[in-house]
Amino acid sequence: MRIQIIAVGSKMPSWVEQGYQEYARRLNADVVLQLTEIPAGKRGKNADITRILHKEGQQMLAAIPKGNRVVTLEVTGKPWTTPTLAKNMADWLMDGRDVSLLIGGPEGLAPECIAIAEQKWSLSALTLPHPLVRIVLAESLYRGWSLNNNHPYHRE
């Protein structure tokens, strides 16, 4: 199964790249993690946020391969425990489709991205910096995988 993270934002600090790559590399061939970055629209004092959000949304939609399950990461999504994530990952694997996880920019996701989501997931009730979300998400996916595969990384 291929899990594609589509995230608004590029040119991340090296610590973000290193953290993300550490967990992406740990996953084995049955789960491949792929990152697709969408350039963030220029935000300034007089920026048209609605237009920027729409453009980011269109770019995200264009990056989703046909047939993928779409899961949005949203503050208003459902919080998942690690066992819930592991079960969802097992279900995704059995479904036979690849998965696209969408991470929005500072204002969140475009309405058209939210509309196509099959699942809405909240990593935390806290507002997390978008670069950190990539690392938390990659670690969470690795932890879910390790639980499903009886790997010693996850201990309850």
Q: Is the pLDDT of residue 57 over 80?
A: yes
Distance CA 139, CA 115 (A): 27
The residue type of 144 is G
The least confident of 45-49, 56-60, 72-76 is 45-49
Buried-state track 71-92, b at ≥16 Cβ within 10 A, e below 16: bbbbeebeebeeeebbebbeeb
Q: Measuring CA to CA, which residue among 31, 144, 136, 134 is closest to residue 84?
A: 144
Quick one: pLDDT at residue 1?
Answer: 94
- Joined tokens for residue 49: 């946020």
Model confidence pLDDT, tens digit, residues 80-116: 999 999 999 999 999 999 999 999 988 899 999 999 9
Which H helix or E strand runs over 24? helix 14-26
pLDDT computed for residue 44 by the predictor? 84
**Which CA distances in Å does 21 have to 16, 18, 77, 147?**
8, 5, 26, 20
Cα torsion 132, 88, 75, 141 to 10°: value is 0
